[in-house]
Structure 1
């Protein structure tokens, strides 16, 4: 079996059987291509069926010199998954990653913005420019609905159920969920649609896409990052932020104000509540108030 054939089969498996998004599949592919490149650079002739721990171990060691522990851990996990697939398909009996330990990385706590920070960022938007109303609607939606950046850029007009107070969101692996959206955010989206978007020349295939660039096409993830970074510079915010920071802030502020963790999980679209539980570690100060309020022996 050739590496490229094994990789193509694996990508098909990830898409069809595991239902992963294209971004996730690309990340897995990237890990395997690193190993393939290493084998070519060192003129190592070995197939994916025959490769052993003795070959993989030096590859991991070499990468450990240039990758941080978190990146190493992700790479090892990606390769382990690939060889597990080959075992599942009866191409191999053992996984060459079984004896390789991932580096200890600890749990990374998400960065968050205060409500004041978010207000300042939104206030810094220049509403005299056509893109101003769009950018305000984007930030309000990111923070008020806790969306991933890809979920925001893929949002359709047909996904807006304002009368019911919900957005239909397509998340990882094309899984759909309904997320509540408040009246204020609805208001800013409607202003953008009526005052800006309705006057644009829109490329036909993007007629249903909500947020558009000046050329009438879907916004890219990179453009959302750029908008946020420019606003952070404008208010001299001493934090490194991204679209995901608004998602973290959404969850953290809900939790601090007494929201149920299970409800937050559903709104964020987390597969496992373990992922949502990271927000329990962000700010523990409110836990004392919960104890005093609800425990019988205060």
Structure 2
């Protein structure tokens, strides 16, 4: 079941079909009457020869240089043979055109007749999304998987040209009403499954496709190499930046270490100062204690002087007298 083709018939072909029979009759009458059978270059000479080079009728003098003929060394044959050949070619062309017209009319009738029938059939097409820019002829097969039954899958094969964006297939692939009864419809999931196969028709087409894929892979390789080179440059820049950052971090760490050492030294100094302050306070307390002791000693010494003892004895006597 392949894709049908409608023959193309131009307006010129229809025109030829209409006027050629009448024209042939007119030519026959002119030949019979001898009206169009005289040479315009050499009077009274019959046009009995056909120049194949110029595709015109000529006389015998036109082939001779002595008569100043314009068709010397040209290919020629008799007018009767040329006439018969031309008539046969024209009749064959007329028959081909009529056959093409009839075939086109039949195809139009078939398409008009099958419009209603195609409403209930499954249409399947293959479309080439990417590939060679020039058309390549492929042999393709579409297989409709059968889920139940002993019969094999339903497979249809075809041949057609593919180009990116082109599609080939079948408008009437399988009847929708027969999918379930023939076992092609999955009963559990309500789906159908296809298997597609596609390959170039000849080894030459296959070689073209392989060469195109190789060129695509080569272009991709070059693109990847450029991308890798760009990434390498970015990596080097990042490594330089990282090295600079590491240097800055090391400087900051050294500065931090110096600050820590300075803080530790300051803490030690503060501890020393605090210890000395405590010692100073203790010395001050000892000095005050010594001062108090000295004052007490001085007071005691003052009480035990001889003058004081005499005065005290006199006061005692007076008190007892």
TM-score, normalised to structure 1, is: 0.18
**Structure in which a larger fraction of residues adopt strand:** 2
Structure with the larger RCO, 1 or 2 (CA within 8 Å, 6+ apart): 1
